[in-house]
Each structure stands twice: as structure tokens, then as C-alpha cells.
């Protein structure tokens, strides 16, 4: 059983407006007052429109911010509607989620993800790389192969491995209320860990689980080995639920 649950990443997806900032107060207070919460890493990844207000709001706390995506282009240039790693870093933002399945579903390839990671690292952002299989791939028992392929391609020629966190997010689990059976999840996470160490030359891989994490199933999920934390979507938009999830991992 693991006791190294350290990362709690809130992915707000395409939700939130300026009024949502108020909901951070509770989490900031919790992080400041709770002894155990002081030792963990909480990262908020709001939409781009809220990134700067979040950085400002959280600057006197221990809570970090991250973007949900970045362009693969490092230089300033014309691609209208794009935001690059340099711009994100300039806000004093520290993390970026790359390769989320909701972006992959819109055509983002492993090759593009690889370029985005390179650009993020060049700009000194920490990367949360998402990988995961579809339900049909899982049913065909292709999970391991799919994940290894994604890691191989996404991390090709990437040197700075200690700045990369891997988030395993089974696509069928995201937003569905379904989570893998603990035994299956543990097996998959173990495969990922071994692959990262042996094939990708990671020294101390950090691996998160994401997909329908909520205050109920956290009691099961927290017992799963090979996990360093969670990437939390829906439930993270409600401060009470988010705090509840974190607290439950402490006991």
C-alpha cells in the first residue's frame, strides 16, 4: 500500500469564470491550516482565461498553477488562437497538461504532443503528460501496448525526465463515473512505472491516476500502489469535494 500520495491536480477543463476565483479561498485556507496538506502539492489548471487571475490569487499560497495545453510552437508567431509555453511561463505559471485525451480526440497526435513537451521543457514548465486507452482497446487487451506506444512516441528524444509527470487516464473513465478495478489499475500502473524506468530512463517516475476521481471512490483509489497522486476533473471544480478527496487520502 502506498503512502506517497502527493499530487492533487485540479483540471477545470472548459469551466469557470472570474466569480469562480472565490471558491479557491477554502482550498487556500485548508492548505495553510492542515499539517498534512502543507506537505502535498496542489496544482490548479484552469482555462487560459483564468490563468493569470489564478496565479495572482494563489501567489501567497503554496498552491501552484498550470495550463491545460500549449502550442507546439515555441516562438511568437501568427497562429491565431494559440498560446505557447513562453506565454504561459511569463505568467509565473509552473505546469502544463499535455496530451489530454480530450485534445487527442480532436486530432492531436503523439508527434505533436512530443513537440509540445519539448517546447514546454525549453520554457521551464513542468509537464503533466496524459496517456490512456479507449474502452475498445482495453477490451481487446491492448492497453499495455497502447500506453507503451504513447510513452515511446511522446517522450522521444526528451532529456529532462525529472520535469515530467505521467497521468494515466483511461479514456472510458473520464467523466463517466467509472474507474478501473483496483487490481487492474495497479497492474497497469506497475507496467507504466517499469517502462518509464527501464525503457525511458526515468529515475523516480511520478505517476498520477485520472478519471472520475470523487470523494467516494477515493477510499478505494488511495489504496492502489504505484501512485503518486491524482488528476481530478469534475470533482475539483467544487472546493468541498476537492478538499474532501484530499483529506480522505490522509487517513
The residues that are catalytic are: 100, 169
Whose Cβ is closer to ligand PGA: residue 53's or residue 233's?
233
> Using N-to-C axis directions, what is the helix angle for 143-154 and 110-122, rounded to 10°?
40
Stretch that binds ligand PGA, among 32-40, 140-148, 187-195, 210-218 (CB under 6 A): 210-218
- Assess 133 for contact with ligand PGA (CB under 6 A): no
Of 174, 208, 218, 221, the one binding ligand PGA (CB under 6 A) is: 174
Element (H, E) at 10: strand 7-11
Of 213, 218, 224, 246, the one binding ligand PGA (CB under 6 A) is: 213
Specify the long-range contacts of residues 29-38, CB closer than 8 Å, at least 24 apart: 30/243, 30/246, 31/61, 31/62, 31/63, 32/61, 32/62, 34/247, 36/250, 37/246, 37/250, 38/62
Of 62, 234, 244, 248, the one binding ligand PGA (CB under 6 A) is: 234
Which of 212, 163, 154 is closest to 185 using CA atoms? 212
- Assess 233 for contact with ligand PGA (CB under 6 A): yes
- Assess 47 for contact with ligand PGA (CB under 6 A): no
Q: Nearest residue by C-beta to ligand PGA?
A: 233
From residue 95, alpha-carbon distances to 1, 10, 42, 203 in Å are: 28, 12, 11, 20
Stretch that binds ligand PGA, among 113-121, 154-162, 232-240, 241-249 (CB under 6 A): 232-240
**Which residues form the interface with ligand PGA (CB under 6 A)?**
11, 169, 174-175, 210-213, 231-235
Amino acid at each position: 500500500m502506498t503512502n506517497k500520495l502527493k499530487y492533487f491536480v485540479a483540471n477545470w477543463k472548459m469551466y469557470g469564470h472570474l466569480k469562480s476565483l472565490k471558491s479557491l479561498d477554502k482550498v487556500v485556507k485548508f492548505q495553510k491550516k492542515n499539517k498534512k496538506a502543507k506537505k502535498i502539492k496542489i496544482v490548479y489548471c484552469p482555462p487560459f482565461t483564468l490563468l493569470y487571475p489564478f496565479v495572482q490569487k494563489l501567489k501567497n499560497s503554496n498552491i501552484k498553477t498550470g495550463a491545460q495545453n500549449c502550442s507546439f510552437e515555441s516562438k511568437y508567431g501568427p497562429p491565431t488562437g494559440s498560446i505557447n509555453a513562453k506565454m504561459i511561463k511569463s505568467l509565473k505559471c509552473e505546469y502544463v497538461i499535455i496530451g489530454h485525451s480530450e485534445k487527442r480526440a480532436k486530432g492531436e497526435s503523439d508527434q505533436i504532443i512530443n513537440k509540445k513537451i519539448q517546447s514546454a521543457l525549453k520554457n521551464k514548465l513542468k509537464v503533466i503528460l496524459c496517456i490512456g486507452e479507449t474502452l475498445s482497446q482495453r477490451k481487446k487487451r491492448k492497453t499495455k501496448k497502447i500506453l507503451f506506444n504513447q510513452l515511446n512516441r511522446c517522450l522521444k528524444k526528451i532529456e529532462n525526465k525529472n520535469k515530467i509527470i505521467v497521468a494515466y487516464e483511461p479514456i472510458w473513465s473520464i467523466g463517466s463515473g467509472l474507474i478501473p478495478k483496483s487490481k487492474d489499475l495497479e497492474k497497469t500502473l506497475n507496467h507504466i512505472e517499469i517502462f518509464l524506468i527501464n525503457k525511458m530512463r526515468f529515475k523516480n517516475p511520478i505517476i498520477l491516476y485520472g478519471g472520475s476521481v470523487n470523494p467516494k471512490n477515493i477510499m478505494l483509489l488511495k489504496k492502489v500502489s504505484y501512485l503518486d497522486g491524482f488528476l481530478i476533473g469534475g470533482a475539483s471544480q467544487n472546493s468541498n469535494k476537492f478538499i474532501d478527496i484530499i483529506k480522505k487520502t490522509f487517513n
